[in-house]
Chains A and B, each alone.
Chain A
Amino acid sequence: RKEVEQDPGPFNVPEGATVAFNCTYSNSASQSFFWYRQDCRKEPKLLMSVYSSGNEDGRFTAQLNRASQYISLLIRDSKLSDSATYLCAVRSNDYKLSFGAGTTVTVRA
Chain B
Amino acid sequence: GAGVSQSPRYKVAKRGQDVALRCDPISGHVSLFWYQQALGQGPEFLTYFQNEAQLDKSGLPSDRFFAERPEGSVSTLKIQRTQQEDSAVYLCASSFAGELFFGEGSRLTVL
B-binding residues in A (CB < 8 A)? 4, 6, 8, 32, 42-46, 87, 91, 95-102
Q: Considering residues A32, A45, A95, A102, which has the most beta carbons from chain B within 10 angstroms of its beta carbon?
A: A95
12 examples of A-B residue contacts, CB within 8 angstroms: A32-B98, A43-B102, A44-B102, A45-B102, A46-B99, A46-B100, A95-B48, A96-B48, A99-B42, A99-B44, A101-B40, A102-B42
Within 8 Å CB of B18, what residues of A? none
B residues 67-102 touching A (CB-CB < 8 Å): 91, 95, 98-100, 102
B49: nearest residue on chain A (CB-CB)? A95
Within 8 Å CB of A101, what residues of B? 40-42
A93: nearest residue on chain B (CB-CB)? B56
- Selected from B31, B42, B55, B104, the residue in CB contact (under 8 A) with A42 is B104
Q: How many A-B residue pairs have CB under 8 A?
A: 44
Q: Considering residues A45, A46, A99, which has the most beta carbons from chain B within 10 angstroms of its beta carbon?
A: A99
B residues 27-59 touching A (CB-CB < 8 Å): 31, 33, 35, 40-45, 48, 50, 55-56
B105 within 8 A of A: yes
A106 to chain B minimum Cβ distance, whole angstroms, is 15
Inter-chain contact B104/A96, CB cutoff 8 Å:
no
Inter-chain contact B103/A43, CB cutoff 8 Å:
yes
B48: nearest residue on chain A (CB-CB)? A95
Give the complex CA separation of A97 and B44 in angstroms.
9
Give the complex CA separation of A44 and B93 in angstroms.
10
Within 8 Å CB of A44, what residues of B? 43, 91, 100, 102
Within 8 Å CB of A4, what residues of B? 42
A83 to chain B minimum Cβ distance, whole angstroms, is 16
A99: nearest residue on chain B (CB-CB)? B42
Inter-chain contact B56/A95, CB cutoff 8 Å:
yes
